[in-house]
Amino acid sequence: MTIEWKEEEKIFHLYNGRVSYMIQLVHGKYLAHVYWGNQIQMMQPSSILQFKGRAFSPMNEPSDPRFSLDTLPQEFPAFGNGDFRTPAYRLQSPDGSTVTHFVYDSFEIMKGKPLIKGLPMTYVENTLEADTLVITMVDSMLGVGMNLYYTIYRDFDMITRSVSFENLGSGEVRIQQCMSMSVDFHDSNWDWLHLQGTWARERHIERRPLIHGVQSISSSRGASSHQHNPFLALLSKDATEDHGVVYGISLVYSGNFQATIEVDPFETTRISMGINPLNFSWLLNPGEIFQTPEALMVYSSEGLGGMSRTFHKIIRSRVCRGVYRDRTRPILINNWEATYFHFTEKKLKEIADAAKDLGIELFVLDDGWFGHRDNDKSSLGDWIVNRKKLPHGLKGLASYLNGLGMQFGLWVEPEMVSPDSDLYRNHPDWCLHVPGRNRTLSRNQLVLDLSREDVCNWLIETLTTLFQSASIRYVKWDMNRNMTEVGSALLPPERQQETSHRYMLGLYRILEVLTQRFPEILFESCSGGGGRFDLGMLYYMPQTWTSDDTDAVERLKIQYGTSMVYPALVMGAHVSDVPNHQVGRMTPLRMRCHVAMAANLGFELNIDKLSRDDKALVRQEIQFYHQIKNVVLFGDLYRLLSPFKGMDTAWMYVDENQEQAVVFYYKTLATPNPPFFRLKLRGLNPKLKYKINDNKRVYYGDELMKIGMSLPLIKTDFFSEIYYLKRDE
Ligand code: DGJ
């Protein structure tokens, strides 16, 4: 991969043999976007941009009446100086004005990728993996420098971007808005796709055509949210799973975000993504630097499938960190849906005994083990074991489990405080609040003010003591409400609007310290299921509880939608009881297992109460999971049939050498007198021969991809099958 500065043409060219990204310096001052896509040969890249003076578009360069910022495809557009489209940033100078004029100053090309202090990011393990371009722009009147960071990776079809502002002057500057990226496409004939939902219905896929004007998704909930994932994709009209052009953009951030698309009358499409400007501002004192989160920009000429596979590889290898990054995860059992708050040590042991007998490796004690928490009305913040429920403490339970040969995992919800807690009684100002205003409860709890250093330090020490108090090998880090009355007791009035972002910086610091301090603990993040399923959390915790909805049918949509960006390796998926606790549906245990086996398999039910036959089935599926899990968790995903389009869902994973593949097929409701159906596979080596489920018959890869695998005629609802393909010599 290379980054070139073409002096004659005034073009920066980032390329890696597959992808190109080009920026042109116009009039020696302005950064124009020229091209992003497949690497191509170009004799005249600088002639791509065309100029024309348009009515009502300001003339920004008196010497060139054809030039206007309003019609220029820009790299990082300002507010207030002639471009009336969505700005990427807005700064307020000490005199109150919000007009800025940043012009090109210099550039630097460096090997590797600089660290972004205090924020999650994609990383490199050696400097040969990526090159970084830093373009410096300066507004000399304001006395502020702006660095635009672009990294191109050698092995991924991706550019990463972020921005920093430095106050070089002597006055206070207020950042009112600052996105992480902005890019102007030269046309508008696109669809866009994003992931929307709510609690128990996260990341459903929505695809629609672009229209003139602004369309956007965002979160102002203090978390990336169940409602909108910080991701969107732009798709050519013909784009499918396997064909067409797709640009996928995702933000490495877990708090309030905004992603905006604006189509202007000249069919330019502007996309920007970053921290939500709503209720955000940041005072930048002389000498200070503000750094935005990072945005990942993936290009695919192989449809949505190609985009997802690129995201998956990056997330698995250059977002997730720690010892679990490259490891399969233990099969766990969680007691939440089995007992909720009402458990005894005896009951937990019964679940653990049965689980161990079936091959489950880790027991997770969920909510209700601390303070006097018998419901969701108390004790968050009082992280002291309830001896009435656990007479031998966490240590006693952990030793029992270890004696069985199981590991012990623990649920915590550290960011929260219950009004009925010693923590709140002792520190009523430690929660987010605005003096004199209502402290709105949600799930009966308040949010600790992590913008405060003292609160963060207290949490770090409290959790350190807790995690050292027993042999804890897994932590589920929950977060069960969104933020209201976002204000901090310690910040001065002029900095109150920094609270949300400072909260995220505080949270990230806590997570950095704890994950470094406890490298052998597997952390799983959770926010009422998937309310904070984002790249920011994955940088610290290598898996996320996908959804509180464990119904096998609903999960098909949730896991399918989640897989647009996130690999199976980072998704927690549990087999739960029927009737399902969220939707009341009865599905066979086999299908429930088969859905959960498409990610990190876990269980969440009274497993000791299963019938003998059901236990035998679970034991058998667990053994099968061990056979397939490496392919599922580390393989390339191909989505074959979408649950959003009908009764059939199918996806498959193929290992790196194309020697093994696992195909999952599900049919939710049977149809009478159904036609024959052949499932066309993807991603196999056309020339290799494969055996399916150890049957005697052998098929060529191209046969399975072109003609397909014939499926049985199905006469039952909730049918599922997993096919394991292995190369035959
Ligand atoms: C919400 C989580 O998503 C559930 O799995 C469970 O841990 C509850 N919180 C406990 O309060």
DSSP 594-615: HHHTTSEEEEES-GGGS-HHHH
Position in ligand 1 atom list of the atom nearest CA 548: 3
Q: Which two tokens stand for residue 109?
A: 């090309």
Residues 6+ apart with CB under 8 A from 327: none
Residue 201 CA, ligand 1 centroid: distance in Å: 15
Which string of DSSP letters, residue by residue, matches 189-213?
Answer: -EEEEEEEEETTEEEEEEEEE--SE
Position in ligand 1 atom list of the atom nearest CA 476: 7
Alpha carbon distance 658, 614 (integer Å):
34
Residues carrying an active site annotation: 478, 548
Residue with CA nearest ligand 1 atom 9: 528
Rama region for 225: left / alpha / beta (φ>0; ψ in -120 to 50; rest): left
Position in ligand 1 atom list of the atom nearest CA 527: 3
Residue 528 CA, ligand 1 centroid: distance in Å: 6
Position in ligand 1 atom list of the atom nearest CA 411: 7
Residue 529 CA, ligand 1 centroid: distance in Å: 7
Residue 483 CA, ligand 1 centroid: distance in Å: 18
Alpha carbon distance 259, 250 (integer Å):
9
Q: Which two tokens stand for residue 379?
A: 């004790």
Place of tokens 């977002």: 319
Residue 340 CA, ligand 1 centroid: distance in Å: 9
Position in ligand 1 atom list of the atom nearest CA 529: 3
Main-chain phi, psi angles of 425, to 5 degrees: -60, -35
Q: Outline where DSSP puts E strands in 282-366.
A: 282-284, 289-291, 294-300, 332-334, 362-365
Q: Which residues of 213-240 are buried (b: 16+ CB within 10 A; e: fewer)?
A: eebbbbbbbbbbbbbbbbbbbbbbeebe
pLDDT, residue 696, reads: 84
332-634: CATH class: alpha beta
Residues 6+ apart with CB under 8 A from 91: 98, 100, 139, 142, 144, 165, 173, 174, 175, 176
Position in ligand 1 atom list of the atom nearest CA 366: 7
How far apart, in Å, are the Cα atoms of 429 and each of 335, 424, 443, 448?
Answer: 34, 8, 19, 9
Q: Outline where DSSP puts E strands in 323-455.
A: 332-334, 362-365, 407-412, 416-417, 446-447
Residue with CA nearest ligand 1 atom 11: 367
Q: Which of 198, 367, 379, 555 to mutate to test the pocket of ligand 1 (most atoms within 8 A of CB)?
A: 367
The β-bridge partners of 545 are: 572
* Topology alike, domains 2-319 and 332-634: no
Residue 533 CA, ligand 1 centroid: distance in Å: 14
Q: Of 25, 631, 705, which Cα lies nearest the Cα of 328?
A: 631
Residues 6+ apart with CB under 8 A from 371: 378, 379, 380, 382, 383, 384, 386, 421
Pocket residues for ligand 1 (CB within 6 Å)? 336, 366-367, 411, 478, 480, 526, 528-529, 545, 548
Residue with CA nearest ligand 1 atom 2: 528
Residue with CA nearest ligand 1 atom 10: 367
Residue 693 CA, ligand 1 centroid: distance in Å: 37
* CA torsion through residues 634, 635, 638, 640, sign: negative
Q: Which two tokens stand for residue 342?
A: 């009402």
- CB-CB contact of 640 with 680 (8 Å): yes
Domain residue limits, the chain: 2-319, 332-634, 641-727
- CB-CB contact of 477 with 450 (8 Å): no
Q: Which of 445, 480, 582 to mutate to test the pocket of ligand 1 (most atoms within 8 A of CB)?
A: 480
- CB-CB contact of 552 with 718 (8 Å): yes
Measured CA angle at 155 (ends 152, 161), to 5 deg: 25
Residue 479 CA, ligand 1 centroid: distance in Å: 8
Residue 544 CA, ligand 1 centroid: distance in Å: 12
Residues 6+ apart with CB under 8 A from 133: 3, 12, 14, 107, 108, 109, 149, 150, 151, 152
Q: Which residues of 167-176 are buried (b: 16+ CB within 10 A; e: fewer)?
A: bebeeebbbb
- Could you please state the CATH topology (level 3) that the domain comprising 641-727 is classified under: Immunoglobulin-like (2.60.40)
Per this entry, what is the length of the chain? 729
One-letter amino acid for residue 321 of the chain: R
Residues 6+ apart with CB under 8 A from 285: 167, 172
pLDDT digits (tens, 9 = 90+) for 509-523: 999 999 999 999 999
Q: Which residues of 356-392 are buried (b: 16+ CB within 10 A; e: fewer)?
A: bebebbbbbbbbbbbbebeebebbbbbbebbeebbee
Q: Which of 339, 411, 544 to mutate to test the pocket of ligand 1 (most atoms within 8 A of CB)?
A: 411
Strands 689-692 and 698-700 come out as antiparallel
Q: Of 190, 186, 192, 224, which Cα lies nearest the Cα of 207?
A: 192
Residue 527 CA, ligand 1 centroid: distance in Å: 8
Q: Which of 478, 481, 545 to mutate to test the pocket of ligand 1 (most atoms within 8 A of CB)?
A: 478
Alpha carbon distance 161, 290 (integer Å):
15
Q: Which two tokens stand for residue 162?
A: 């972020």
First to last CA, the chain: 37
Q: Which CATH number applies to 2-319: 3.30.70.270, 2.60.200.20, 2.40.128.130, 2.70.98.60?
A: 2.70.98.60
pLDDT digits (tens, 9 = 90+) for 223-246: 999 999 999 999 999 999 999 999
Position in ligand 1 atom list of the atom nearest CA 526: 3
Which residues of the chain carry a pLDDT beneath 70?
Answer: none
Q: Which two tokens stand for residue 118?
A: 């205090």
